[in-house]
Copies of this chain bind each other. A is one copy, B any other.
Amino acid sequence: MTMMSAEQYEKSLRRLNLVVYMFGKRVENVVDDPIIRPSMNAVAKTYELAHRPEHEDIMTATSHITGTIINRFTHIHQSIEDLVKKSKMGRLLGRETGCCFQRCVGMDALNALSIVTFDIDAKHGTEYYKRFVKYLAYVQENDFTVDGAMTDPKGDRSLPPHKQPDPDQFMHVVEEKKDGIVVRGAKAHQTGAVNSHEIIIMPTLAMREEDKDYAISFALPSDAEGITYIMGRQSCDTRKLEGGMMDQGNLLFGGHEALVVFDDVFVPWDRVFMFKEYEFSRQLVEQFAAYHRQSYACKVGVGDVLIGAAQTAAEYNGVERASHIKDKIVEMNHLNETLYCGCIACASEGHKEPSGTYCVNILLANVHKHNVTRFPYEISRLAQDIAGGLMVTLPSEKDLQAPETATWLKKYFEAHHDIPTEHRMHILRLIENLTLGTAATNYLTESMHGAGSPQAQRIMISRRINMHEKQRAAKKLCGIEE
């Protein structure tokens, strides 16, 4: 077996023994927990679509190490075409789930490590790449979902790791053993953490020699001893506990983030991919970040859903032919397709690294992600404009069912005699979900901070621009000779 079905994926998760806390209590059955399950459904979609003939070109790839057909999420990009397909896969899944499907972070971590382990070996004569390829084969063979973990809590932002009053604010080695290392620390905001089989740890910033104990990268099974998951809560999360079919907006899918605590966890040597080679931490961060910024292709797909919902709401409201409505729909599409241009362009302008892995154009990947920190907010604003105020004054689904109120709601919220009032309520709840509810945490706030906050992209843009070339051209044209 190299590609699991959605059912097999679910079953495989049941075999994990994760230590998960939520609302102050241990979650005994993670897979069936009503708040977590929609996020599992979203990851499951990455398995399901890989088996659909109409999507196989995008969803699958041929392993460059085994030659077998694998899920693209476990693939190392072998060409520009692979990079472009990755962007298209993100849009497809965003559109089919309307949320964060969580699996790209592991793909991005694997690809970044495929480059950096190779480069470390080239300099230091180490064997990280060999270890990594063996691990990769294991992931591909088992079609695992992998969490790629980068963000440390960071404590006092003005201090480097080794100067922190609490040394655990950055993940670090606490003991070096014959057969492996012991690590301590935590990773925050871990998307899809409890839906993953594996977790790959990477350093969170460029480091100097003094921080070398923090310059480590490794992989662990998600249920390794000593790992604890504390679930983050989302806007409107508990609507999923209400047992209805409408008020949660997106009936099927969601995302999640967790704080993952590593309390003296043992890592065997064959799963260690960087160990104190601090001078490579910057490269690992930048390349992982670039891949992951490309991954925000997914938001184009979520944008598709929001645009489709806004258009539908306009039709249900009976105003879809008003010129200002049509114009706002065009604007939403224009912004969404501008984002699409970004994720396609950074792929199309990719290049081959020494390891053979294809990497996106780092400048353009940053430009793309930077637009993602802006346009979804404007698309949301326009969606709320089109939806109308009812989106936030709609009574609950239970009011639609209770005899005392159902008549009134059906009577007074009917805008179009062909459209059941329920449909109008459904679509408004979906827009609420995407612009204020559980999905808004993905479509908006995660668009802002995921894969690095806006300022991180601005710094990368300023570094990657060839300013000299621009100044040379300007001076020449106006006659300045130096």
Contact = CB atoms under 8 A, between A and B. Distances in A.
5 closest Cβ contacts across the A-B interface?
A: A308-B470, A24-B398, A389-B449, A24-B402, A232-B393
A156 B416 CA distance: 6
Given A188-B412, A389-B189, A458-B334, A426 B158 contact: no
A398 B25 CA distance: 8
Interface residues of A, number: 153
A471 interface: yes
Contacts of A433: 478
A338 B98 CA distance: 25
Nearest to A368: B341
Interface in A304-339: 304-309, 311-312, 317-319, 322-324, 326-327, 329-330, 333-334, 337-338
6 contacts: A22-B399, A153-B412, A304-B473, A330-B462, A348-B348, A377-B378
Interface in A215-248: 228, 230-236, 238-239, 242, 245-247
A214 interface: no
Nearest to A342: B341
A437 interface: yes
Contacts of A330: 458, 461-462
A201 interface: no
A480 B404 contact: no
A249 B478 contact: yes
A149 interface: no
A449 B333 contact: no
A181 interface: no
Contacts of A367: 334, 337-338, 340-341
B415 A157 contact: yes
A424 B23 CA distance: 18
B348 A84 contact: yes
